[in-house]
């Protein structure tokens, strides 16, 4: 049975274990119908021209694993920002691990989607926000919605600052067989509130893992949200990350995506500006090789005047890896005085690596500043000679230049420990030891 | 120390150096002057090992060792230093980190351990003072947004850190005001010893008032057409390169 049929068949059994009277029941039922009608995206769709899920659809994924092994903290410690104090919401094979987690309800809610979806006290938040910006007619988002049950639920109330970063960690043991996971996160940051979130998907198995994640983020007026995505997964792990962000007046949301590993990664990162004087930033560093594939699809929808968006994606592609960057900016007629910047720079290290980069600007306002630039190139030979002439070997000099190439994306990382870790990961990915102050 | 023998080099099939001969002994300062396009910067790049240029004939020998097969970094490890006419900007790498990496790479090549951090810091501080470089400057990205003078001062700072046997200064005076020129030249003079040598490439006599050469060579159309002592530079300044052309019947 192909994956689509398996998922549609599994839905009934899945729903039966849940509360059928809950309003989300109808949302789920509508969503599975959408998915049943649309199926998985295919290469005939413009947005999926360069990324095929065909090979994943043929794998016999287990959808609801039973008896996941318990993990010792020491075995997975390296995947946590363990040097600093953080809140942690940890899932093992899609199931919440209270043992590895550190949640809170003191002042802020850092807890579980399953709790938010079932407990009465969260009903107003769920009714106001759940599935409200995730588009109803998008194949994979609908699929996730149909099976939405577990994930992270974060609510930062008005005028509150989360005192430590929040880690959302999805671990896959896939002990028995190939595993499909569909985490669903909801993050609500009220007026003038602030939060830093680090999300990571990590497979601990050689078995195939396919994650189809949906995250909805609501940033109310003057809210500040920093979201960091770490994608350094095993070579048998694939991820489709669908993130939807709703911003109100004066809010500042930054999403950093660090992609260093995994088999196939598709990031659908969507910003909707529903207010004035909003700042939306998305930055990415991609360093991949072998036969890895990454596809960054970004969207910024400028709907109101006087807002800004900044995009800066750097990619380094080795081996026969393939990359896609598709950056769409829509500026509505109403959105005068928009400043939208987009930059995508790529280095191809091997002859067999490929990058497809496409800016897509739809501007309906006349008083706007929009710029975009993309480059695909090799390392600057003059810079290389300069470094070599100072005694730095060619390999190290190349690494230093690649590091420099990616570095300005790191400058805006506001968690020092995370920055140090990403620095170290970059050095590791480039295969050299450098005398950086990490 | 440095011996250049009948050096011919070309780029994309076009011959630029057409038989250069030059012998530089320890403790000496040589100046190479000449009009634009004579091949001065090419000579500097070829000695430093830039692979864009193809050496078609002749050799570059350092302390009896032919450098032909050496990559730029290997030449640096053996003691060749080139101060660039146009230092490259490397955003994201600080001057300090760059220097640490360069020094430890050279030490590694010589089979030495990394320089201890406190020793490194002490050395950086000393050499920065020598060139009147502010501490804040050292934590800036290499050459990024530096003024012309800062770039050249930074080049000589690197020379001070790396302690080369032969330093080639490619138009280190260009883009410098008189104060910066004095600092840069003063730095070079303090680094001179009986064990190292300096080759100064310049258009103008000006720099040679501060770094006084033992020998002056005129490079024209890929060849050294005239050599003399420091007075040759003064004569060139006065009479211009046309005088050489006429004298040599070129």
Q: Which of B84, B101, B160 to mutate to test the interface with A (most CBs of A within 10 A)?
A: B101
- Nearest partner of A247 among A179, A302, A174, A177, judged by Cα: A302
Burial class of A377 by CB neighbour count within 10 A (0 to 12, 13 to 18, 19+): exposed
> If you count residue pairs, one on A and one on B, with CB atoms under 8 Å apart, how many are there?
89
- Tell me if A339 is assigned to some domain: yes
Judged by CB atoms closer than 8 Å, whether chains meet at A394 and B93 is answered as no
| CA separation for the pair B192, B248 (Å, rounded) | 33
Q: Do B105 and A386 touch (CB under 8 A)?
A: no
Q: How far is CA B18 from CA A29, A252, B53, B62, B248, in A?
A: 82, 62, 13, 20, 16
Task: Say whether A407 and B73 touch across the interface (CB within 8 A).
Answer: no
- Among candidate residues A115, A149, A193, A112, the one with its CA nearest the CA of residue A31: A149
**Secondary structure (DSSP) of A91-140:** EETTEE-TTT-B-B-SSSEEEEHHHHHH-GGGHHHHHHHTTSSS-TT-HH
Q: Of all helices (H) and strands (E), which one includes residue B122?
A: helix B117-130
Q: List the single best residue of B74, B105, B117 to mutate versus A (max A Cβ within 10 A).
A: B105
Domain-located, residue A438:
no
Nearest to A403 among B51, B82, B92 (CB): B92
Q: What is the ipTM of this complex?
A: 0.95
Contact B105 A407 (CB under 8 A): no
Q: For residue A47, is it within any domain?
A: yes
Domains and CATH numbers, chain B: 2-248 (3.40.50.300)
Q: Considering its fold, how many domains does chain A have in total?
A: 1
With a CB cutoff of 8 Å and minimum separation 6, the contacts of A312 are A282, A283, A284, A343, A344, A408, A409
Q: Residue A142 carries which DSSP code?
A: H
The DSSP result for A158-223, as a single string, is TT-B-SS-EEEEEEE---SS-EEE--EEEEEE-TT-EEEEEEEEEE-SSS-EEEEEEEEEEE-TT-
Q: State the residue range of the domain holding A222.
A: 3-429
> If you measure CA to CA, which chain A residue comes closest to B89?
A383
Residue A436 within a domain: no
Is B88–A380 a contact, with Cβ atoms under 8 angstroms apart? Answer: yes
B143 dihedral zone (left: phi>0; alpha: psi -120 to 50; beta) = left
The closest CB to that of A382, out of B49, B80, B88, belongs to: B88
Residue-by-residue DSSP string for B81-102:
EEE-SSPPPEEEEEHHHHHHHH
Q: How far is B111 from chain A (nearest CA, A)?
A: 14
Which residues of chain B neighbour A400 with C-beta distances below 8 Å? 90, 93, 98, 101
What tokens appear for A392 in the block? 């730095």
CB contact under 8 A, A407 and B82: no
Burial class (CB in 10 A: 0-12, 13-18, 19+), A294: buried
Closest to A261 in 3D by CA, of A297, A295, A304, A292: A292
C-beta of residue B215 within 8 angstroms of C-beta of residue B20: no
Name the 3-class secondary structure at A229.
Answer: strand
In B, which residues are within 8 Å of A391 by CB distance?
73, 76-77, 102-103, 105-106, 109, 162
Q: Which of B47, B53, B86, B90 to mutate to test the interface with A (most CBs of A within 10 A)?
A: B90
Residue A291 within any structural domain of the chain:
yes
Contact A78, A170 (CB under 8 A): no
B81–A382 CB contact, under 8 Å? no
**Residue-by-residue pLDDT tens, chain A, 438 positions:** 789 999 999 998 888 888 777 888 899 999 999 999 999 999 999 999 999 999 999 999 999 877 777 888 999 999 999 889 999 999 999 999 999 999 999 999 999 999 999 999 999 999 999 999 999 999 999 999 999 999 999 999 999 999 999 999 999 997 778 999 999 999 999 999 999 999 999 999 999 999 999 999 999 999 999 999 999 999 999 999 999 999 999 999 999 999 998 999 999 999 999 999 999 999 999 999 999 999 999 999 999 999 999 999 999 999 999 999 999 999 999 999 999 999 999 999 899 999 999 999 999 999 999 999 998 988 888 999 999 999 999 888 888 888 888 877 888 999 999 998 998 888 888 876 655 553
Let me know if residue A434 belongs to a domain.
Answer: no
pLDDT tens digits, B146-197: 988 899 999 999 999 999 999 999 999 888 888 889 999 999 999 999 999 9
Residues of B in contact with A396 (CB under 8 A): 101, 105
- The SS3 of residue B32 is strand
Q: Is residue A309 part of a domain?
A: yes
A354 forms bridges with which residues in the sheet?
Answer: A322
Chain B residue numbers with beta carbons less than 8 Å from the beta carbon of A390 are: 73, 76, 98, 102, 158, 162
Tell me which residue in B52, B76, B91 faces A404 most closely, judged by beta carbons: B91
Q: Do A403 and B93 touch (CB under 8 A)?
A: yes
Q: Which of residues 383-402 of A touch B (CB under 8 A)?
A: 383, 385-394, 396-397, 400-401
Tokens at A208, concatenated: 């195939």
């Amino acid at each position: 049975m192909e994956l689509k049929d398996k998922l549609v068949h599994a839905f009934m059994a899945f729903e039966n274990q849940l509360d059928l009277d809950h309003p989300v029941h109808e949302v789920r039922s509508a969503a599975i119908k959408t998915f049943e009608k649309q199926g998985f995206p295919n290469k005939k769709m413009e947005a999926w021209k360069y990324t095929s899920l065909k090979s994943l659809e043929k794998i016999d994924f287990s959808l609801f694993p039973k008896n996941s092994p318990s993990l010792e903290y020491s075995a997975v410690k390296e995947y946590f920002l363990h040097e600093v104090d953080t809140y942690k919401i940890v899932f093992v094979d899609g199931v919440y691990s209270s043992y590895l987690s550190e949640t809170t309800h003191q002042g802020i809610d850092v807890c579980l989607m399953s709790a938010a979806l079932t407990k009465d006290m969260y009903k107003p938040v769920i009714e106001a926000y759940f599935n409200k910006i995730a588009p109803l007619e998008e194949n994979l988002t609908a699929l996730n919605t149909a099976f939405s049950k577990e994930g992270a639920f974060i609510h930062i109330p008005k005028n509150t600052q989360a005192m430590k970063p929040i880690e959302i960690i999805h671990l896959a043991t896939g002990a028995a067989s190939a595993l499909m996971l569909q985490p669903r996160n909801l993050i609500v940051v009220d007026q003038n509130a602030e939060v830093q979130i680090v999300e990571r998907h990590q497979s601990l198995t050689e078995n195939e893992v396919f994650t189809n994640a949906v995250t909805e983020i609501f940033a109310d007026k003057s809210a500040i949200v920093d979201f960091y995505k770490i994608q350094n997964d095993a070579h048998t792990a694939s991820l489709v990350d669908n993130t939807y962000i709703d911003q109100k007046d004066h809010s500042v949301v930054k999403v950093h995506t660090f992609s260093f590993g995994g088999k196939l990664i598709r990031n659908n990162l969507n910003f909707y500006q529903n207010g004035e004087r909003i700042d939306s930033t998305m930055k990415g560093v991609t360093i991949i090789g072998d036969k890895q594939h990454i596809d960054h699809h970004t969207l910024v929808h400028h709907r109101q005047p006087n807002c800004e968006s900044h995009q800066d994606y750097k990619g380094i592609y080795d081996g026969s890896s393939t990359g896609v960057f598709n950056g769409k900016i829509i500026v509505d007629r109403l959105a005068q005085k928009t400043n939208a910047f987009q930059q995508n720079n790529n280095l191809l290290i091997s002859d067999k690596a490929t990058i497809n980069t496409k800016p897509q600007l739809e501007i309906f306002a006349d008083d706007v500043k929009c710029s975009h630039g993309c480059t695909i190139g090799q390392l600057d030979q003059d810079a290389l000679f300069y470094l070599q002439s100072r005694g730095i070997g060619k390999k190290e000099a190349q690494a230093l230049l690649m590091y420099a190439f990616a570095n300005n994306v790191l400058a805006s990382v506001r968690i020092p420990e995370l920055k140090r870790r990403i620095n170290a990961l970059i050095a590791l990915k480039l295969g050299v030891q450098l005398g950086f102050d990490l | 120390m440095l011996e250049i023998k009948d050096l011919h080099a070309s780029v994309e099939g076009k011959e630029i150096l057409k038989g250069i001969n030059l012998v530089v002994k320890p403790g000496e300062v040589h100046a190479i002057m000449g009009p634009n396009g004579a091949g001065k910067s090419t000579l500097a790049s070829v000695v430093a090992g830039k692979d864009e240029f193809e050496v078609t004939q002749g050799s570059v020998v350092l302390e009896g060792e032919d450098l032909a097969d050496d990559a730029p970094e290997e030449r640096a490890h053996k003691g060749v230093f080139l101060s660039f006419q146009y230092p490259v900007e490397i955003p994201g790498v600080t001057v300090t980190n760059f220097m640490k990496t360069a020094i430890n790479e050279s030490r590694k090549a010589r089979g030495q351990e990394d320089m201890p951090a406190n020793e490194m810091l002490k050395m950086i501080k000393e050499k920065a003072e020598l060139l009147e470089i502010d501490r804040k400057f050292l934590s800036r990205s290499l050459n990024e947004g530096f003024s012309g003078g800062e770039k050249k001062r930074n080049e000589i700072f690197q020379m001070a850190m790396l302690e080369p046997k032969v330093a080639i200064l490619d138009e280190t005076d260009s883009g410098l005001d008189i104060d910066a020129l004095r600092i840069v030249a003063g730095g070079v003079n303090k680094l001179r010893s009986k064990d190292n040598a300096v080759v100064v490439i310049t258009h103008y006599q000006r720099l040679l008032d501060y770094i006084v050469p033992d020998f002056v060579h005129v490079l024209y159309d890929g060849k050294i057409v005239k050599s003399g002592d420091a007075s040759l530079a003064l004569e060139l300044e006065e009479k211009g390169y046309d005088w050489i052309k006429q004298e040599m019947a070129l």
